[in-house]
Amino acid sequence: MNLRPILLIAVLLSGCATRAPEPGTSVAESRFDQLVVPGRTTRAELLAAFGPTKTVQFDSGLETWLYTTPAAGGHTELVLLLGRDGIVKKMRKRPPYPTDPQPR
């Protein structure tokens, strides 16, 4: 029996399948640092300044947003946590590391 169609369906439906990650919108780090202040900056301000980007929404009502900025050896991730009120609660940065896989 040819199992290929079944396998194809499974891969298409699988919620845990590997997919190429979508990069966050690239922004200028200096402008990001000027504008984004945890406890104050709103969702609307982020959209107006930097545009939409990769987000993950949770059942709790919280959201994480990912922007990126160019950096030597790759890009720095700029990660935001937005509260239920749409205000930035936390911010963190992840620099590129020498061990990061190089883009193909």
Partner 1 sequence: MRHRALACVLSALLGAPSAWTAHAQTAPAEGIQTVTVTYTRDPVDKSYRKMIRGMERFEHEHALAPQATLRLRLLPRAPTVDMHGITLRVIGDHITVPVTVAPDNSFTLLRNEQALQEDAAVVANRKTTSMTWRAQVMTPGLPPGTRRLGDLRLECLVGMEAGLVSNSSPLFGWISNALTSAEQVCNSPDGNFLFFTERPVFAVTLHAGDRTEILPFRYLYAGGDQTRDMLPFCDCQVLLDRTYYAPIWDRSWPDDTLVTFDFMDDAP
Positions touching partner 1 (CB under 8 A) are: 1, 3, 6-7, 9-10, 13-19, 21-22, 24, 38-39, 54, 56, 58-60, 62, 64, 66, 77, 79, 81, 89-92, 94-95, 97, 99-100
Show the beta-strand stretches assigned E in the chain.
Answer: 25-26, 54-57, 63-71, 74-82, 88-94
The Cα–Cα gap between 80 and 71 comes to: 18
Q: Are strands 25-26 and 88-94 parallel, antiparallel or unpaired?
A: unpaired
Q: Residue 19 or residue 104: which is nearer to partner 1 going by CB?
A: 19
Nearest distance in Å: CB 101, partner 1: 9
Tell me the two tokens of residue 84.
């239920």
Nearest distance in Å: CB 53, partner 1: 11
Q: Residue 31 or residue 90: which is nearer to partner 1 going by CB?
A: 90
